[in-house]
Chain A
Amino acid sequence: MAGIFWVTCPECRGEFYCHAQELRHKGIKLLCPYCGHQFLDEESPKIVE
């Protein structure tokens, strides 16, 4: 699998992961799979990479 980074949704605090090369520092809004909130990776209160 490609490199991934874990993010935390700033709205519901749900944690999920994304494709690092395609979505890290790209200015693309991520979609929280738990609550549907859209946010930039920089807005995540916690990032594990």
Chain B
Amino acid sequence: MAKKLKEFLSQLVDRLPDDLLRIDRPIDPAHFEVTALLQHLENRQQFPALLFERPLNLHGKPSSFPLLSNLFATRARCALALALDPEDAGLPLSLEYAKREERLIPPVKVSAREAPVKEVVKHDQEADLYDFPIVRHHAMDSAPYIDMTPVMKDPDEGFYNLAFLRNMVKGPRRLGIHMSPRHNWQIHRKNEEKKRPTPVAIVVSHHPSFYLGALNVSPFGVDDYARVGAIMGEPLRLTASETWGDDFMVPADAEIVIEGHVLPDVREVEAPFGEFPGYYGPQRLRPVIEVTAITHRRDAVFQHIFVGHRDNWILGGIPKEGSLFNLIRGIVPTTKGVHFPISGCGRFHCYVSIDKKIDGETKQAALAALAGCDFVKHVVVVDADIDIYREEEVMWAVATRVQADQDVDIIKNVKGNTLDPSQTDDIMTAKMIIDATRPVKRPFAARLEVPKEAMAKTRLDEFVAPAVLERLRRS
């Protein structure tokens, strides 16, 4: 049975009833009202998913598409998306992603008749982006943006690549697209060298496991449709696109797909846009998409990501944890876990725990993390007694197990990320490794511990009533 977004929302209500707020008042996403609400909640440290049932579209009229926001802002919801217990949102979620990420499940093809995304099909002039409740996120954003996943197909080898890329709404059938020099950029570059347009299908809304799968860190050349299937735990069902037929397949169970061409040798001003590091990317010259068709379910839900916030950071971090765990464990077999904390935007900081047996393993693990994912700037390697999902424990290890002159390495002139505002170069950055593990070769102080026997014998609920415990504020 193919996974559907609405079934996931029903599961969410069953398992985590306080995690989905339905908002039935009209709201205007293009004039910052949605993100204002999200920011108010964030200021209170509250991160529910929001389903806006009566958003306005870009014509300023009630949209027929409800708008789903902030779905990925908790690890518990991401665990549920992969059919795990929400309680398993820490290390078990990372390890499950790692396990699934080692496989490929090839997609299967279905006819348009069997594809819910073809329930409504609009071509050319019928297709109107302004019918959607597209969100304008932050004060300096130059327009409403679609911020989900464009799919492109390699013209030489035929594999598909998915990535979260921002798309600036420039007209009813015109979008700007920003591509960092990564996989989709490579595909477009190959086409552009031959003066060919690049076919693109933007998967605007789908089951959340599709998007967790889309962020895998597979090498260029791996078919993302097959990898996404592995993460979803079932073959992705594909159907022929409206624009290119069988030559370009699109997800049959998506809520909404926008098809178009990235034009060769066309650049227009695009941005500023509030990006994942929590700063605006500057206005620059970027390629343009001409929309050729829009297809969607009859009752489709429109989705967006609250970029530069927890929704974006948690979604970005979990797939990298899984992918890098597999990579690092191949080099340091005693690797226990990999975590991308929200303090590093789910990308720049990487915490690795290892059960170190010999000196040197730390550096091996850190170098693998840096090589495996170019987003990573700072790797902190800790011992297995440190819970890498509790940042204060990691920083405690840094405070008590690090001598900066011996345990910190800086590597200059490495590929970084164009959106990192601290970079002084467009591409190149500096990376840092912090070895916060205890040394193997010399005696080291023992960590404090209340005797295990006393912990087992002295039960908290015998001294403090459970109701009082529940009321105590967690710091």
Q: A2 — nearest CB in chain B belongs to which residue?
A: B426
Of A3, A21, A23, the residue contacting B269 (CB under 8 A) is A23
A2 near B140 (CB under 8 angstroms)? no
The residues of B that contact A4 with a CB separation of less than 8 Å are 282
The residues of B that contact A28 with a CB separation of less than 8 Å are 269, 285
Q: A23-B284, A30-B283, A33-B142 are known contacts. Are A16 and B423 too (CB-CB below 8 A)?
A: no
A31 near B142 (CB under 8 angstroms)? yes
A1 near B282 (CB under 8 angstroms)? yes
Count of chain A residues near B, Cβ 8 A: 16
> Residue A13 at the B interface, CB < 8 A?
no
Least distance between B30 CB and chain A CB atoms (Å): 13
A16 near B419 (CB under 8 angstroms)? no
The residues of A that contact B143 with a CB separation of less than 8 Å are 33
> Residue A22 at the B interface, CB < 8 A?
yes
Least distance between A33 CB and chain B CB atoms (Å): 4
> Residue A46 at the B interface, CB < 8 A?
no
Q: A1-B418, A1-B420 are known contacts. Are A18 and B282 too (CB-CB below 8 A)?
A: yes
> Interface on A for B, CB 8 Å cutoff?
1-4, 16-19, 21-23, 28-31, 33
B283 near A31 (CB under 8 angstroms)? yes
A1 near B272 (CB under 8 angstroms)? no
Interface of A is mostly: mixed
Q: B421 — nearest CB in chain A belongs to which residue?
A: A1
Q: Per-position contact with A for B135-173: 1 when CB-CB < 8 Å, else 0?
A: 000001111000000000000000000000000000000
B269 near A31 (CB under 8 angstroms)? yes
For A3, A18, A30, the residue with the greatest tally of chain B CB atoms inside 10 Å of its CB is A18
Q: CA of A22 to CA of B425 in the docked complex: distance in angstroms?
A: 14
Q: CA of A22 to CA of B270 in the docked complex: distance in angstroms?
A: 11
B282 near A33 (CB under 8 angstroms)? no
Q: Could you give 16 example pairs across A and B, Cβ below 8 Å?
A: A1-B419, A1-B423, A2-B282, A3-B426, A16-B140, A16-B280, A17-B272, A17-B280, A17-B283, A19-B283, A19-B285, A21-B426, A22-B284, A28-B269, A31-B142, A33-B143
The residues of A that contact B420 with a CB separation of less than 8 Å are 1
Q: A38 — nearest CB in chain B belongs to which residue?
A: B269
The residues of B that contact A2 with a CB separation of less than 8 Å are 282, 418, 423, 425-426
Question: Top 3 closest A-B pairs, CB basis?
Answer: A19-B284, A33-B142, A2-B426
Q: CA of A33 to CA of B271 in the docked complex: distance in angstroms?
A: 8
A22 near B285 (CB under 8 angstroms)? yes
Least distance between A17 CB and chain B CB atoms (Å): 5
Least distance between A25 CB and chain B CB atoms (Å): 14
